[in-house]
Amino acid sequence: MLAAPAIGGTIRDVSDDTSVVVHTGDTLVFQLLTSSFAADAARLRLPVQLTDISFAFVTSPLSGAGSFAATLESADGLASVAFGELTFGTGSLDWGGNGQDVSVLESSLSQLDSKALFGEPSVFIALRNDGPEVMLGIPSFPMRQDMFATLSGGSLQVGAIPTSVELESQDKPVNLIAFGRETPFSADSEAPEPHPGGLLLGGGALLCGLSGVLARVARGRN
């Protein structure tokens, strides 16, 4: 579980920033709306539970691979699972028919405890920079639109919309429980729309089609 705030440091909302400098030890925290899974399951009358999650975070091409530790945490802060230590791979962002080279950080988790992790309408994905200082982001894209996430369970798969992004400094980790209370979401909450682009990994596999709610994730190949 991520730590509660310490004295000093800063926590900054970077949801609409197109770029952000992430120092060693800093963490980007993405809040993802997950209530669409339950809503779609009920609408389709599917007796399924949310058990799997995958994500891909994209940025303008980086000179090095970088090193980030990724963690999934429940909105109440009582449950968390580590994705592990990750490095950026290569990919291509399809925007309006024009491919743009990007760096991609991706991972997935399966067979999760649905009640413990997804009992609230949102979850958090935290990306801690364990490597050197790096600038992340894509020009003209707000930071919340650089995260692509997919929720799965049984035969159902839907996209999870990032609603906010915060950057926590090295000496003041964010309190995810307080963060969740300050920005409550329900199934009727108004969430930002994802950009209608597509992400192609280095191997050419379609990663995300964002004109709808479905997002498909595949591993990149150099």
Q: Write down the domain spans for the chain.
A: 11-89+101-194
The pLDDT of residue 171: 64
> For residue 102, with 0-12 CB atoms within 10 Å meaning exposed, 13-18 middle and 19 or more buried, which class applies?
buried
Q: What is the CA radius of gyration of the chain?
A: 16
For range 7-33, the mean pLDDT: 91
> pLDDT for 149-173, tens place per residue?
999 999 999 999 999 999 998 765 4
Predicted TM-score (pTM) of this structure: 0.77
Each residue of 56-104: pLDDT tens digit?
999 999 987 789 999 999 999 999 999 989 999 999 887 666 778 999 9
Look at the block and give the residue holding tokens 């191997």: 203
Q: How many CA atoms lie within 13 A of 148 on its CB side?
A: 30
Between 177 and 162, the more confident residue is: 162
Of the pLDDT bands very low, low, confident and very high (cuts 50, 70, 90), residue 221 is very low
Given this model, what pLDDT does residue 96 score?
67
- Helix/strand/coil for 98: strand
